[in-house]
Amino acid sequence: IMQRVATETNTFSAADFVGLASALILLVVLLIAPWFVNAGDSVTGFGLLSASESLVPIQTSAPPLLVIAGGLGGLVALWGVFDVRARRISRNGALVAGLLGLFYYGIFLFENSLSTVDAVGGFIGIGFWIGLLASIGLMSQVFLPRPHLPLVRPYDWRNYLTITRTDLFSVFFILVGGWVLLAAPATIDGTTTTFLSFDPQGNQGILVATLSYSMVVGVLYVLSGVIGLAPVAAFKRWRSWLLLLSGILIIPTVLIIAAAGTRTNIVVMTQESLRLATPIVIGALAGIWCERAGVVNIAIEGMMLTGAAFGFVSYVLVLQATPTMNVQNAQLIGVVVAVLAGGVMATLHAWLSITFRTDQIVSGTVINIMAIGLTSFIRREVLVSADAARGTLSPVAIPGLSKIPLVGEIFFNGKPIFYGMFILLIVTHVILYYTRWGLRTRAVGENPHAADTLGINVIRNRWINVIIAGLIAGLAGAWFSLETTGSFDDQMTAGRGFIALAAMIFGKWTPIGAFGGGLLFGFSDALGQRF
């Protein structure tokens, strides 16, 4: 605020001073109030401390402070709304004060187990109006015109129809945060804890107060969403960071709430999430290779299913033909065949959609349907009559790295295709953004006519990228039959190819984004299996 005063205006109004002072006062209250509350009764609902005893257990101090702070924030927010001389700087101070005021009142409102309610009962009625005033202040800031928009008509209703990705995420976190703040006190007991262990044996870890953590995260989500929507230029640099932090906290928050009252192992959950995300991430990378070249590939499911079937069939037939062969070598041969099988299906897709210019959606659908019938026929004719032994690829511990605490157990004790996911992720990212081929691929996908004018062979580029995508999808199929189950069943991919497409779109057609989307789906699967 002082910087804006020095650069944008020559005066400092009373609203500016009160907004700044109240914000600082509320921050001080935020820091000191928990030390004057009995931890056993109030801190659980307050959501800031979790201990068995406070340093100074004075039960009658914090609730009045909370209500007074909320009232101060609400009044200053209201002042900032109706001050006809208020500039942008005044609204900034009012917004900060209003946010903190609503935050404090919300904490007091949701604490139904306070042993000091009788001592501050007179403040509850005032608290309602405090929250109302603070809400008015906040909503006025949300619906003011955005200063960064070109306002041809300063208060034209069309300015409010501009919706960005940040707006969508902000609304999402406001809804989720509000739901958490409303549901957590009603469904989670104040004494409930979650034990998160960080070693494979589950002996060491931290104890999290579930209700306290839920309230803090709920407030953070609402705060992040409101700041993301607020048309205040001072918050622009914080929006992305707060929304990113809120997104990162989704997985641990879901895990802590799901495991409320029990214990869970973070190492095991992370291992399972990465393991179950492997085919999704690899399938998403296959989709990126295709769609970056301008070819829609919904046939990832069929390519994965074909790779799973032919890879396992070749493994069984190789063992029958050469009984003395090492099982691991036979499985690796099966992986190679699975990769090639995916490439064959991709060649068919390229032939139909590129050479003959068949509708790419229709071509992909044909391959998916054909893969279901072909693999079912192969299973009945070959695997049912063959003595198919169950066996999966063995884990490979990376020497030295596998001994690193936590990290080694999660990342360096996996199976071959698990490692292949990370290798493909790095290779795809490097090729796509740091090589001539990647530049040409992106040019072909974005504007094939301009690329052709430049001299790039568009047809050749698309053919090669689609075949590479099929090889990658075949590797994802081998994960099902050769690395996980040691068998093949009809439609065993269970729609993972379509989930891979969703992860690719969720990740904005980038390798790193696709990995994040795949990890989110993998965590969902692991959570469903665990709880």
Provide the residue-wise pLDDT of the chain in tens; the chain has 531 residues: 333 333 444 444 555 555 555 555 555 554 454 444 333 333 322 323 222 223 223 333 444 455 455 555 555 555 554 444 444 444 555 555 555 555 555 555 555 443 333 333 344 444 445 555 555 555 555 455 444 434 344 444 445 556 677 788 888 899 999 888 888 888 887 777 788 877 766 667 788 888 888 888 988 898 888 888 776 665 677 788 888 888 888 888 888 888 888 888 888 888 999 999 999 999 999 999 999 999 999 999 999 999 999 999 999 899 888 888 888 899 999 999 999 999 999 999 999 999 999 899 999 999 999 999 999 999 888 887 666 566 788 899 998 888 888 788 889 999 999 999 999 999 999 999 999 999 999 999 999 999 999 999 999 999 999 999 999 999 999 999 999 988 888 899 989 999 999 999 989 999 999 999 999 999 989 988 877
Which DSSP string do the residues of 66-104 spell out, in sequence order? HHHHHHHHHHHHHHHHH-TT--HHHHHHHHHHHHHHHHH
Please tell me the chain's helix, strand, coil percentages from 3-state DSSP, rounded to the nearest 5: 70, 0, 25
For the 268-524 domain, the top CATH level (class) is mainly alpha
- What distances in angstroms separate CA 249 from CA 76, 217, 364, one per listed residue? 31, 8, 37
Q: Which residue has the tokens 């032939």?
A: 351
Whole-prediction pTM value?
0.68
Cα separation, 351 vs 363, in Å, equals 9
| Residue 202 φ/ψ, nearest 5 degrees | 80, 25
pLDDT computed for residue 27 by the predictor: 52
Distance in angstroms (rounded) separating the CA atoms of residues 120 and 404 = 53
Backbone angles phi, psi at 382, to 5 degrees: -115, -55
Name the 3-class secondary structure at 208.
strand
pLDDT computed for residue 250 by the predictor: 87
Q: Which of 287, 300, 296 is nearest to 345 (CA)?
A: 300
What is residue 285's predicted lDDT score, i.e. its pLDDT? 97
Please give the pLDDT value at position 299. Answer: 94
pLDDT for 387: 60
Tell me, what amino acid is at 504?
M
Q: Which two tokens stand for residue 228?
A: 């993301």
Strands, E assignment, 182-300 = 193-197, 205-209, 263-265
Through-space distance between the first and last CA atoms of the chain, rounded to whole angstroms: 48
Buried b (16+ CB within 10 A) or exposed e, 399-418: eeebeeeeeebbbbbbbbbb
CA distances from 485 to 12, 317, 332, 340, 493 (A): 70, 18, 15, 20, 11
